Amino acid sequence: MFNEFLATHEKLKNANVEDPLLETLRFFDIRSDGALGRAGLCQDGQTKIDIETVVRKRELGIPIEHILGKACFMGRSFRCSPDTFLPTEQSGLLIEAARTLLQERASAEKGPLVLDIGTGCGNLAITLALTSASVRVFASDISPAAIEIARTNVSRYGLDHRVFLLAGDLLSPFQEGGYEGTIDMILCNPPYIPTRSIGKLPRALIEHGPRVAFDGGPFGIDLYRRLIKEAPALLKPGGILLFEIGEMQERLITRILEDQGGYGDIVFYNHGEKVRAMSARKKQGSV
């Protein structure tokens, strides 16, 4: 295995990828279904992979996750495709915050009810369900193709009885289904890149990722405005809206929350030294 690691690193280095060591580590972590990330080692007795093919596709800018057909998130493996936004490490903030915030609501008879909006491959919904035994999650995505990928991941982890999937735009799948005032938490990782900044993103993301998953409109906040406006109708009093944000967007989004009214207890969550997630609570008595 060590010799294979060195050979893979050398081939990626010769292919002039930006960070061959990081690429090699990611390759072995994904191939081993997250074993490297979980335990600091990599063991893989699964199907052999043609390294030459991997290197050739990486030279074309195709992400390793798409080449292998899977990505890792918080030590777990998820099937993915170009129809799904690839999980990122910083989204673990949402899981940790959600688990803490939901503890106070875990005494509910049926367990807390969470909506995961823009679920992609389902990594947030599935990870939350696996780490919070009483939680039920309804996950949605505007892309039917992404929903099908998420469905395979839900089945793989045996969560068909607690993670339910719907296709639709933002909160629309829940607005006429009797969900009004029943939701404990709305969880979302919306697109937050300003349209004018998309050209600065890595080539792999621009050419091989779903644009709808990262293009946040002229100022990167289009989906936040809609989410913040529509969420109170679905949340219970005291229910929580929790979402990831782009760098230095916290002040602008705080202003949107305050202007909308009906929210309080706004909390910031840091990834490193930067705020990358926020939560707000629906005030008692607000509609």
Separation of alpha carbons 122 and 195, rounded Å = 25
> Which stretches of 176-271 are DSSP H helices?
203-208, 222-230, 250-260
Mean pLDDT of the chain: 85
For the chain, helix, strand, coil in percent to 5 are 45, 20, 35
Nearest alpha-carbon partner for 156 in 67, 40, 33:
33
Name the pLDDT band for 1 (thresholds 50, 70, 90).
low
Residue 217 reports pLDDT greater than 80: yes
Q: What does the block give as tokens for 17? A: 């990828």
Give the CA count within 13 Å in the CB-facing half-sphere of 45.
0
Write down the pLDDT at residue 55: 76
Query: What is the pTM for the complete model shown?
Result: 0.81
> Among 206, 204, 209, 208, which residue's Cα sits nearest to residue 195?
206
What's the pLDDT score for residue 34?
62
CATH assignment of 89-282, among 3.40.50.10190, 3.40.50.150, 3.40.50.300, 3.30.70.3460: 3.40.50.150
Give the percent of the chain with pLDDT over 90: 52
Report the catalytic residues.
Answer: 85, 189-190
Q: Where are the domains of the chain?
A: 2-60, 89-282
- Looking at residue 10, its amino acid is E
Question: What does the pLDDT read at residue 257?
Answer: 97
Confidence of residue 206 (pLDDT cuts 50, 70, 90): confident
Helix (H, G, I), strand (E, B) or coil at 243: strand
Of 108-117, 194-203, 237-246, 274-283, minimum mean pLDDT range: 194-203
pLDDT of 16 reads: 67
The tokens of 152 are what? 């395979």
